[in-house]
Chains A and B, each alone.
Chain A
Amino acid sequence: MRASLVAVAAAAALAVLFVPGASATGRQCPHQWAEGWQVLANKVQAPVYCPTWMPNPLDAKIGGQYQDIYSIGKDRSYLVSFLEHGDLGSGDVHVNFRGYPGRLSVPKCPAPVGHGTTPCFSNPVAHLSANGIHATVYQVNQGADQWHILLAWHYRGTLYAVSEHVIPPYRFSTQVRRNLSLLLESLVLVRPHS
């Protein structure tokens, strides 16, 4: 019995130590971006992941010059995207952040052919681990994540995803996966204020 208690205590300690995104380095959501992510966390009443690194030239300031979609559903799921249209030939850089509070399964999207549905994220091709997060790499994605490589993972009963478009200047999926790996490494949790 004592051994079990010790084991439970040890597991609890590990859980505290390895909260995904709660960086041991003490990294925080950058000051200029923090307010927007905090507002988002408060609105969806769930932790959200704020990046501390973004692919050039994007930043992750909600309400800033690169913010594109900002959408919160009735089910508290959210999509926040950042986009640079390189109209002068520099190419597009497009990153999406998603969260589905209270949901673990991959959501369904309209099927590209016929009347059914299809998983919004499919063709898992690899796993990536960084920053205490164990993410699955999905190669075929729907909706706003079409033509994107996407990472998805769970944290405390919520499904999270971050994706980036495969398009110049990040022309190859290997480049995008490298960016996503850096993004994963950079994420920090922002908890809702009660």
Chain B
Amino acid sequence: MKLTRRRLLGGAAAAVAGGAGIYELVEQLGTSPKRPASGVAAFDEQHLIDLRTTHSEGVEVVVPPLHSEIVTATVEDVDLARARQQLDDALASLESSYDPTTPAGLGIAVAWGVPYFARVHAAAQRHLPFDRRAQKPVLLPTRRFPSDPETTILEQNDVAFLLRSDTLAHIEAAEGVLRGLDFLHLTSVRRGFAGGGFDGKQSLPKKLALAAGVPGADLIPDTSELFLGFTSTQKSGLGPRLIANHETLGYVDLRGGYFHGGTHMHLSHISEDLEAWYLNFDFGERVVTAFAPGQKAKPNQQTVPQGPKDIHDASQMRQTFNRTGRFGHSASIQPTSRLQQDHVGPDGALYPKGTAIPQRADFNTLDNPFFFSADPARDKWTKDPAAGVHFVVFNPTGDDFERNRLAMDGQLPDGTKLDVKPRSRAQGFNSVLTTTHRQNFLVPPRRHRSFPLAELS
């Protein structure tokens, strides 16, 4: 749908007046990507969704869903078997209306937190996956990281629903269904958007930030996929199809195999200080901060190649840090987020050295920090929009996520700690990002997505 300037400004004014209106603008301001049907009914993995690719500045990039939403909840003290059936029926009903394999329909992933598994303790003891590499459970208690402020809230939700679609109405339908389940007590609703701009037109983050009037909105490059000015969905920078499954890289003891096809999900909300980013970091410093010291980029380039030959290992990272006093965001994570050698998965698939492991599903938001909070005082909720990201990432294990996040703070798995203050601008993005909330979850395979292990307890 095309808008005249007058209609755009009218919509923007409405959005500023009422928070919900901002996200409705996504459909008015964005163009839904064409998505071919996947040809399958549903994937065994809940976290998989077919996302087509396109090219941006000569680099193959994944086209993210226009809309994403997270609904978190606690579960009331109810009969889990009955609740399990009700949730199963509700999800099946949604999937009969909307193709679950593509954002043209509705992607749904149900993820379960530590508090839930405490309720099915006996079965959890027997079946929860164990990380052999880390000698820890795959699902770890949520923690803060060195660059997190003390105010970062470590959440205790039982369950999180990740909803992804190019059509807001599909997500609203799913939210409505979840709200109708009387055993769920919704703790938050988190909304956002990503993309646009690959065709050279003004991107959604730029349009929405301007419409919401957040500080720094006018400084975002026009076609930027995300608020911070760079593309983050380079295909080679995202883990391929099954790599984030527990079983693929051999890190995990799946015990009886109940969670085969599952994965780990970390969810956080991160505030972004756009003014600090664009007024204190010139383009060259933004490039080396987002990627790596010495990273070459053309003036105003947004999509920087991140293929296997472009990545850094730990020794390069240390050398670069010793030489320049800084390390970039990508360079710091790559020693832990990329395969250090070729790997053959249990299905015979070859994953070459340098392949990305995490599958990110992060999206920009104007929530502050959430669209809805059941505990506004605790969450420091306000209706005033603010730039941020709801960060969603799938890794084979919780420890695998922690390795990446610690590396972002200069702490490598071999014990190396690069001498840099936790929120220094020498450390990638950290000086302009503030994590407000965090929680770890397990994403069971689709067959066990509804109240996993409840039937065994």
Contacts and interface: CB of A to CB of B under 8 A. Distances in A.
Contact of B280 (A114, A146, A171, A172): A146
A113 B219 contact: no
Contacts of B281: 140
A23 interface: no
Contact of A112 (B218, B219, B275, B280): B280
A112 B219 CA distance: 21
Given A139-B219, A174-B218, A115 B325 contact: yes
B416 interface: no
Interface in A147-190: 147-149, 166, 171-174
Interface string B322-342: 001110000000000000000
Interface residues of A, number: 18
Contacts of B424: 113
Interface string A110-145: 001111001000110000000000000001100000
Contacts of B284: 122
A118 B326 CA distance: 15
Nearest to B283: A123
Contact of A113 (B215, B218, B326): B326
A69 to B, nearest CB: 20
A149 B275 CA distance: 11
B414 interface: no
B426 A113 contact: yes
A173 B278 CA distance: 10
B375 interface: no
Contacts of A113: 324-326, 424-426
B279 A114 contact: no
B347 interface: no
B150 interface: no
A28 B285 CA distance: 41
Given A112-B280, A123-B282, A172 B215 contact: yes
Contacts of A146: 279-280
Interface string B305-329: 0000000000000000000111000
Contact of B279 (A112, A115, A139, A171): A139
Interface string B196-227: 00000000000000000001111100000000
B279 A147 contact: yes
Interface in B418-452: 424-426
Q: 7 tightest CB-CB pairs across the interface, nearest first? A: A114-B325, A140-B282, A123-B282, A122-B282, A113-B426, A113-B326, A174-B218
19 contacts: A113-B326, A113-B424, A113-B425, A113-B426, A114-B325, A114-B326, A115-B325, A122-B282, A123-B282, A140-B280, A140-B281, A140-B282, A146-B279, A147-B280, A149-B279, A172-B215, A172-B217, A173-B218, A174-B218
Interface of A: 112-115, 118, 122-123, 139-140, 146-149, 166, 171-174
Given A113-B326, A140-B282, A140-B285, 20 more contacts: A112-B280, A112-B285, A113-B324, A113-B424, A113-B425, A115-B325, A123-B283, A139-B279, A140-B279, A146-B280, A147-B275, A147-B279, A148-B279, A149-B279, A166-B275, A166-B279, A172-B215, A172-B217, A173-B216, A174-B218
